[in-house]
């Protein structure tokens, strides 16, 4: 009987609680496009019988879309044992983002630390003079789990 079902996916913006759209699918999977990066959405899936009226109980899932990658990552200042990085972000939800900065030794490729910042800049201290470092910055949604693609910069 499940092969005669269609599915209705109710898409609700979890922040404003407004209905974004209802999507109909003939398959038990569907790609929902046109969503806002870094935003909470509530998706509820309903199985719909062949009469196109009778619906089963909805099955909900709540998740954040990935933030967009940061851009224009650069060193604002480079000291002997420290560097201050700055970057841009233009998502509408970016005022809720945290940023994860991955610090990797560029020679050994060893992860040294993960730092967090709640602004679009960060000072990294305790660096070894004359050493190559790779810094990668990720925007992280307010759930502290969902992160965008990282942007890297390599500095001595």
Q: Tens of pLDDT along the chain (156 residues)?
A: 567 889 999 999 998 999 999 999 999 899 999 999 999 999 999 999 999 899 999 999 999 999 999 999 999 999 999 999 999 999 999 999 999 999 999 999 999 999 999 999 999 999 999 999 999 999 999 999 999 999 999 999
pLDDT on residue 2: 63
pLDDT of residue 82: 96
Distant-in-sequence contacts of 109-116, Cβ < 8 A, 24+ apart: 116/140
- What is the SS3 assignment for 2? helix
- For residue 50, the Cα-to-chain-centroid distance in whole angstroms is 37
- Say if CB 1 and CB 28 are below 8 A apart: no
Q: Bridge-partner residues for 105, per DSSP?
A: 133
Q: Are 123 and 71 in contact (CB under 8 A)?
A: no
Task: Give the pLDDT score at 32.
Answer: 97
pTM: 0.85
**Kind of pairing, strands 133-140 and 98-105?**
antiparallel
Q: What is the pLDDT of residue 1?
A: 57
Question: In the prediction, which pLDDT does 15 show?
Answer: 86
Domains and CATH numbers, the chain: 2-64 (2.60.40.10), 71-155 (2.60.40.10)
Give the number of other Cβ atoms within 10 Å of residue 47's Cβ.
17
Sign, CA torsion 136/141/143/148: negative
């Amino acid at each position: 009987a499940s092969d005669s079902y269609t599915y209705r996916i109710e898409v609700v913006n979890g922040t404003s609680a407004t209905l974004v759209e209802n999507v109909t699918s003939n398959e038990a999977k569907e790609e929902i496009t046109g969503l806002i990066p870094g935003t909470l959405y509530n998706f509820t899936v309903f199985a719909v019988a062949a009469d196109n009226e009778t619906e089963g109980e909805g099955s909900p899932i709540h998740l954040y879309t990935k933030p967009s990658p940061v851009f224009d990552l650069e060193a604002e200042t480079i000291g002997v044992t420290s560097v201050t990085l700055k970057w841009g972000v233009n998502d509408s939800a970016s005022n809720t983002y945290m940023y994860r900065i991955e610090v990797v030794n560029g020679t050994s490729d060893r992860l040294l630390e993960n730092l967090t910042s709640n602004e679009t800049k960060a000072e990294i201290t305790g660096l070894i003079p004359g050493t190559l470092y790779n810094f990668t910055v990720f925007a992280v949604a307010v759930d502290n789990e969902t992160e965008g693609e990282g942007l890297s910069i390599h500095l001595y």
